[in-house]
Amino acid sequence: MQHIERSIFDLRRGLPVIVRSPEGDRLVAPIENLASELFASLPALTGRQPQLILTRHRLARLGIDVDDEQARLPLDATDSREDVIRWACSPAANLSAQRIQSDTGAGDRAAVHLMQRGLLIPAALTVAIGAEQSQALDQRVAEQEWLSVTADDIAAYGRDGARLKRVSEADVPLEHAEHSRFVIFREADGMREHVAILIGNAAQWPDPVPVRLHSACLTGDLFGSLRCDCGPQLRASVAAIARRGGGVLLYLAQEGRGIGLANKMRAYHLQDEGLDTIDADQVLGFGEDERNYNVALDMLGQLDITHIDLLTNNPSKLDALNQSGIEVARRSGIYGRLTPQNARYLNTKASRNGHWLDALLAEP
């Protein structure tokens, strides 16, 4: 697993990696931090022209429907680095559907998965490596200048990388819940840590146990951003669980509905230009919600919690938790506050994500 983690960090630095798959080796480069020199050198390094791999969400935004999760755009010598970046994530891009080919291979799919796991723009440049160039690139790998990984290992990493280990815990008195204990869970790859906040005395918790899943929001939780209702919702959840006699709040490292802080800021910029949250994420290549709640299921399992009262307005959380030995016996709404700055955001969650927010949005 360590070589997959190292490849993700290299991609975040703008370095290419080699992905090996049954259909042949590919040099993979990220769109973010794509150096002009690297882009210009790709044909000479590989003996082939690169192609741009885009998600179906990005292509849908460009008016192109595909059946698979990704499709490829073969590039030619006249396509510039600026063209590639525009096609990957610009709201003003135009692209002919005739140029798109849907037959992506395992290496191409693995490349996009690496970008997603690294919280990068979910698009990748991939180039098949010609026989004449393979020895020189293998030498770079041998000298540890570049890394190589297999598509099979990347797929296995996608299945196993989020497994959690309980690593530390301590009492942390909170303003609305003085008797609270923080339990830290670390994903197997070491990249993310999630927190279970145990409120009250576990031996005296009600049945079903009040549980809240709260995805991290730096801007709202810490700085009090008015663009969302996350901070008030977080504090209301802690207070509600304490009033009910205790329970658990899972604080999940899934900023920006799973796209990461940098992409969240990109999406905010697009929202300032008139897009709603879902359309802004789609421009960047993401779906309407990139979160994965398997980590929550793992945390609850390790805490021996199986019968819960879920504090949520989100039907996706209800569906995700009502499985794998967890029974959602009851759902309770939990609200932040409506402001002029977050009204469009909340209305989008209600109208396009199906969140149960009628009571909040009905406020005068």
Any catalytic annotation for residue 289? Answer: yes
The Cα–Cα gap between 240 and 212 comes to 10
Going by C-beta distance under 8 Å and a sequence separation of 6 or more, which residues neighbour residue 274?
none
What CA–CA distance (Å, rounded) separates 309 from 297?
A: 14
* Tokens linked to 177: 């819940």
Of the residues 56, 266, 291, 331, only one is catalytic, namely 291
Task: List beta partners, residue 248.
Answer: 198, 211
CA angle 349, 257, 334 (to 5 degrees): 55
Determine whether 257 is an active site residue. Answer: no
What is the end-to-end Cα distance of the chain in Å, rounded?
A: 53
Q: Are 130 and 124 in contact (CB under 8 A)?
A: no
Quick one: which of 304, 301, 307, 302 has its CA closest to 322? Answer: 307
Task: Give the CA distances from residue 59 to residues 2, 99, 221, 274, in Å, rounded to whole numbers and listed in that order.
Answer: 32, 12, 33, 20
Identified catalytic residue from 25, 229, 281, 289 = 289
- As a whole number of angstroms, the distance between CA 26 and CA 92 comes to 30
- CB–CB of 263/121 below 8 Å? yes
CA distances in angstroms from 98 to 63, 89, 207, 257, 314, listed in the order given: 12, 19, 58, 32, 38
Whether the CB-CB separation of 261 and 218 falls below 8 Å is answered with yes
Q: Report the catalytic residues.
A: 289, 291
